[in-house]
């Protein structure tokens, strides 16, 4: 097995792959990227496209005519990894028929499992972690012999000099930081993406200007704990204001913040800057202080509620969404009821809810017993889902009769005669198309609502 274990040198700047110095693809090899997991993986795929485009590769939307198949993987939950193993098993028969087909695995699962992945899937040609994508051309150039493995973590690698190759559209992700320093006990991310590092404000503003010239109207600032951003001179509030000043950018969003880093300056920027959207996804995880301590979340329920109150005081009409884990280690019936109580008090617009499953390599897996029975986890999860569904239905119904602003994104999946868009507070709104086009910001009156969608018509 070929290992890349040297100390990582300073990044080599890659030219703009779409500029005059771009190399015409000379190998004629087509790459298919299959993404799993979070928005950060989608952003990483854009970096990978840039690196490989510069080295002469092209891309294909399907596996049938691909010369290289790259699975960009997630490791947050065991189920995500099992999906990848299942997919690799499917692709192994394709590779058996085509020995020249190159099969690679990158991303968080590659980082976590490393050579264990090659033990289970020995037909894989290379395994690359999130900090080693600059070496993808080397990995592809070395195929045909032993598998190539490179899962080094590099505290200096932020890919800030690489211009992502994005699909054309009205919205774009803008990665502002990589890695995480929080080390929540249930989370594998710091171990597979390394320590936190922020990209300079000047670089991010330049990239935003480039997006605006290509017709992007909405940018979403992306980071593991996005509001802990600090480039040494500027904080997250500075960045929110700087990006929103770019001509052509009409909306600025961000995900996902950490409650402990929700500063007064950040909340003030949300309330005072009309381009910063009135929505915050604020992961709570639990409504019990005891559980939060075991999770190492670094805030109490009281402190979390104070952030919620500050948001609702200073950001008119703000929507607050969240993440909640049911059945974490040591969670009692009283802890679970405390979570339900906080949900009733806050009345989240929506929530992502999961039952706890231990992840090998996390602090919780090493130090805390997974002592809540599986059937009880399922029962508690069902209870919070039902509770949130009822609250969401009431919250969405509260918009009926109001007029909302929506950025048109495209045709509705259910009826191509309708369009859908996202409101300022991140709700999906569906309406007859009329003369509207994707990229337009329209005013729509809400006529009815479900627990997840506003339905209306364009006015004015």
Cβ(196)–Cβ(181) below 8 Å: yes
All structural domains of the chain with their residue ranges: 2-150, 171-397, 403-459
Distance between CA atoms of 269 and 239, rounded to whole angstroms? 10
pLDDT digits (tens, 9 = 90+) for 138-185: 888 876 678 899 999 998 899 999 999 988 899 999 999 999 999 999
Report the half-sphere exposure of 243 (CA within 13 A, side-chain side).
36
Handedness of CA 309, 314, 320, 324 (dihedral sign): negative
Pick the CATH number of 403-459 from 2.40.50.140, 3.30.420.40, 1.10.10.10, 3.40.1080.10: 2.40.50.140
**Fold of the domain built from segment(s) 2-150:** Rossmann fold (3.40.50)
Distance between CA atoms of 270 and 276, rounded to whole angstroms? 5
Question: What is this structure's pTM?
Answer: 0.89
Nearest residue to 458 via CA among 448, 450, 441 = 441
Nearest residue to 112 via CA among 173, 191, 32 = 191
Angle between helical axes of 333-346 and 374-397 (0-180°, round to 10):
10
Q: Which CATH superfamily is domain 171-397 in?
A: tm_1862 like domain (3.80.30.20)
Burial class (CB in 10 A: 0-12, 13-18, 19+), 417: exposed
Distance between CA atoms of 196 and 155, rounded to whole angstroms? 8
pLDDT digits (tens, 9 = 90+) for 315-339: 999 999 999 999 999 999 999 999 9
Tell me the three state secondary structure of residue 172.
strand
- pLDDT by residue for the chain (460 residues), tens only, comes to 555 433 233 333 344 444 444 443 335 699 999 999 888 889 999 999 999 999 999 999 999 999 999 999 998 888 889 999 999 999 999 999 998 999 999 999 999 999 899 999 999 999 999 999 999 998 888 766 788 999 999 988 999 999 999 888 999 999 999 999 999 999 999 999 999 999 999 999 999 999 999 999 999 999 999 999 999 999 999 999 999 999 999 999 999 999 999 999 999 999 999 999 999 999 999 999 999 999 999 999 999 999 999 999 999 999 999 999 999 999 999 999 999 999 999 999 999 999 999 999 999 999 999 999 999 999 999 999 999 999 999 999 999 999 999 999 999 999 989 999 999 999 999 999 999 999 999 999 999 999 999 999 999 7
Burial class (CB in 10 A: 0-12, 13-18, 19+), 87: middle
């Amino acid at each position: 097995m070929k290992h890349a274990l040297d100390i990582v040198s300073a990044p080599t700047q890659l030219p703009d792959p779409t500029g005059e110095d771009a190399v015409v693809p000379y190998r004629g090899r087509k790459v298919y990227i299959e993404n799993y997991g979070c928005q950060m993986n989608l952003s990483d795929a854009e970096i990978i496209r840039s690196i490989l485009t510069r080295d002469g590769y092209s891309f294909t939307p399907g596996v049938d005519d691909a010369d290289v198949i790259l699975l960009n993987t997630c490791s947050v939950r065991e189920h995500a990894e099992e999906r990848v193993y299942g997919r690799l098993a499917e692709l192994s028969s394709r590779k058996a028929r085509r020995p020249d087909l190159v099969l690679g695995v990158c991303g968080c699962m590659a980082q976590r499992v490393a050579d264990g992945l090659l033990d289970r899937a020995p037909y894989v040609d290379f395994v690359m972690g999130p900090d080693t994508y600059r070496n993808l051309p080397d990995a592809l150039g070395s195929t045909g012999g032993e598998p190539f493995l490179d899962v080094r973590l590099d505290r200096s690698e932020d890919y800030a000099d690489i211009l992502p190759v994005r699909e054309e559209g009205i919205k774009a992700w803008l990665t502002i930081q990589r890695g995480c320093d929080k080390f929540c006990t249930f989370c594998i991310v710091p171990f597979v993406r390394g320590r936190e590092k922020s990209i300079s404000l000047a670089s991010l503003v330049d990239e935003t200007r480039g997006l605006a010239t290509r017709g992007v109207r909405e940018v979403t600032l992306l980071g593991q704990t996005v509001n802990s951003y600090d480039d040494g001179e500027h904080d997250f509030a500075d960045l929110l204001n700087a990006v929103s000043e770019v001509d052509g950018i009409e909306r600025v969003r961000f995900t996902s913040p950490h409650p402990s880093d929700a500063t007064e300056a950040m909340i003030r920027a949300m309330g005072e800057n009309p381009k910063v959207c009135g929505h915050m996804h604020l992961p709570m995880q639990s409504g019990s202080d005891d559980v939060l301590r075991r999770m190492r979340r670094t805030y109490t329920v009281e402190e979390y509620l104070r952030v919620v109150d500050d948001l609702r005081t200073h950001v008119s009409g703000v929507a607050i969404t969240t993440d909640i884990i049911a059945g974490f280690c040591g969670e009692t019936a009283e802890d679970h009821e405390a979570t339900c109580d906080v949900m009733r008090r806050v009345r989240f617009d929506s929530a992502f809810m999961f039952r706890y499953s231990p992840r090998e390599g996390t602090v919780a897996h090493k130090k805390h017993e997974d002592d809540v029975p599986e059937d009880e986890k399922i029962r508690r999860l069902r209870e919070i889902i039902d509770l949130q569904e009822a609250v969401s239905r009431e919250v969405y119904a509260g918009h009926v009769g109001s007029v909302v602003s929506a950025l048109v994104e495209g045709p509705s999946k259910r009826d191509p005669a309708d369009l859908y868009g996202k409101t300022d507070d991140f709700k999906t709104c569906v309406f007859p198309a009329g003369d509207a086009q994707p990229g337009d910001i329209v005013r729509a009156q809400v006529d009815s609502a479900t627990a997840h969608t506003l339905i209306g018509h364009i006015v004015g």
